[in-house]
């Protein structure tokens, strides 16, 4: 391995930045040392810590401290999640302070069963912001989330728009932010995701269910091609916000975005650690995209690809039920239910 690790070199040679996704406390510290400038979590975060003995022990202690004083298990779950994210906030706080609020952010997203109500998204976000000054509120880009963004801009709250699979979602949330910013004069930190790997997972299940014949290159780069289009669109239209790639499922979900003025969040195990081990050259790939012929093939064979890759491909009312969004949200709900089940178990044994 060279003197400077891969992510440090990416940061030194390009405007691309590395974030770590859903880490254990130890992984967060390792990621920070290797050049991570931020940390993302989602509603399944605590359930993902169950396989880490030390983090699981801390989660159990938080649950056991809360259940004698709170009868509502959903509230306990939200407070446990906040407690676990607070540990990450502490890890990244020195970077946040040293950068004068330019880096060192940690994200949190509320109860996935409550995200159909704008006021619940807002109230959870307001509560979670109390964790620390470097905490960024994640909001889903659905109709309720688009309504909620206006509150957060008006109140100068940093946000990350999540569950973004299609260009129309990026357009809708960026336009809402821009309008709210123009009206309020506030311009808080704003990240706009593209959940590349989960979108690919959705395409894969459609391909398998329908027995669709599709070239290997089209399969591999479908989600990335839309992420790159989103990046170009945001730049062309001068939209507020920074693109952040997410939902990575392969190394290319990071390396193919290198060179862009953007961030990418990846898991430590299975992605970041492998990129560090490989220690490959830093190559700008943001400008390279699949051919028009492959785009045409994808549009012809996958209607959801066509919907996702056009700025007017979906109306806001369609965002919530779009296949990739539904798949992502279902994983959040499963993780949240696992946390609720653990809380119920601890309550019975108390």
Percentage of the chain exceeding pLDDT 70: 99
pLDDT tens track for 280-311 = 999 999 999 999 999 999 999 999 999 999 99
Q: Where are the alpha helices (DSSP H) in 162-262?
A: 167-184, 196-210, 216-236, 252-255
Contact 45, 22 (CB under 8 A): yes
pLDDT (0 to 100) of residue 54: 97
The position carrying tokens 């990244």 is 92
**pLDDT higher than 80, residue 114:** yes
Cα gap 97→118, rounded to integer Å: 31
Residues 125-144, mean pLDDT to the nearest whole number: 98
pLDDT (0 to 100) of residue 282: 98
Average pLDDT, the chain: 97
DSSP state for residue 270 in the 8-state scheme: I
Please give the structure tokens belonging to residue 49.
Answer: 């810590």
Neighbouring C-beta atoms of residue 117, cutoff 10 Å: 13
pLDDT (0 to 100) of residue 332: 98
Question: Confidence class of residue 132 from pLDDT cuts 50, 70 and 90?
Answer: very high
**pLDDT higher than 60, residue 1:** no
The position carrying tokens 């931020």 is 38
Domain residue ranges in the chain: 6-349
Residues 241-264, mean pLDDT to the nearest whole number: 97
Contact 92, 106 (CB under 8 A): yes
pLDDT (0 to 100) of residue 2: 46
DSSP state for residue 156 in the 8-state scheme: T
CATH homologous superfamily of 6-349: Aldolase class I (3.20.20.70)
pLDDT (0 to 100) of residue 3: 62
Residues 82-90, mean pLDDT to the nearest whole number: 98
- Tell me how far the alpha carbon of residue 16 is from its chain's centroid: 16
Confidence (pTM): 0.96
Q: Where are the alpha helices (DSSP H) in 16-166?
A: 25-33, 45-48, 53-66, 73-98, 118-128, 143-154
**pLDDT higher than 50, residue 204:** yes
């Amino acid at each position: 391995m060279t003197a400077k690790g891969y992510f440090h070199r990416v940061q030194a040679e390009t405007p691309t930045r590395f974030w770590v996704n859903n880490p254990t406390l130890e992984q967060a510290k390792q990621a920070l040392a290797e050049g991570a400038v931020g940390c993302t979590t989602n509603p399944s975060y605590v359930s993902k810590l169950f396989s880490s003995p030390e983090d699981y022990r801390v989660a159990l202690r938080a649950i056991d401290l809360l259940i004698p004083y709170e009868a509502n298990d959903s509230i306990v779950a939200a407070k446990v999640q906040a407690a676990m994210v607070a540990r990450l906030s502490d890890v990244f706080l020195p970077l946040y302070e040293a950068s004068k609020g330019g880096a060192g952010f940690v994200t949190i997203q509320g109860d996935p069963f409550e995200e159909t109500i704008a006021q619940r998204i807002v109230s959870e976000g307001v509560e979670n912001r109390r964790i620390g000054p470097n905490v960024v509120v994640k909001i889903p880009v659905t109709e309720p989330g688009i309504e909620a963004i206006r509150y957060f801009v008006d109140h100068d709250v940093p946000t990350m728009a999540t569950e973004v699979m299609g260009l129309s979602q990026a357009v809708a949330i960026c336009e809402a932010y821009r309008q709210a910013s123009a009206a309020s004069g506030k311009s808080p930190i704003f990240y706009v995701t593209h959940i590349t790997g989960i979108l690919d997972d959705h395409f894969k299940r459609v391909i398998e269910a329908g027995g669709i014949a599709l070239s290997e290159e089209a399969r591999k780069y479908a989600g990335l091609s839309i992420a790159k289009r989103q990046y170009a669109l945001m730049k062309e239209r001068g939209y507020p916000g920074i693109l952040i790639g997410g939902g990575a499922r392969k190394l290319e979900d990071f390396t193919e975005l290198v060179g862009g003025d953007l961030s990418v969040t990846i898991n430590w195990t299975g992605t970041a650690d492998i990129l560090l081990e490989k220690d490959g050259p830093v190559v700008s790939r943001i400008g390279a995209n699949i051919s028009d012929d492959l785009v045409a093939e994808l549009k012809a064979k996958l209607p959801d690809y066509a919907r996702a890759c056009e700025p007017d491909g979906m109306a806001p009312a369609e965002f919530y039920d779009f296949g990739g969004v539904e798949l992502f949200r279902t994983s959040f709900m499963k993780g949240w239910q696992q946390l609720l089940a653990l809380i119920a178990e601890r309550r019975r044994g108390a």
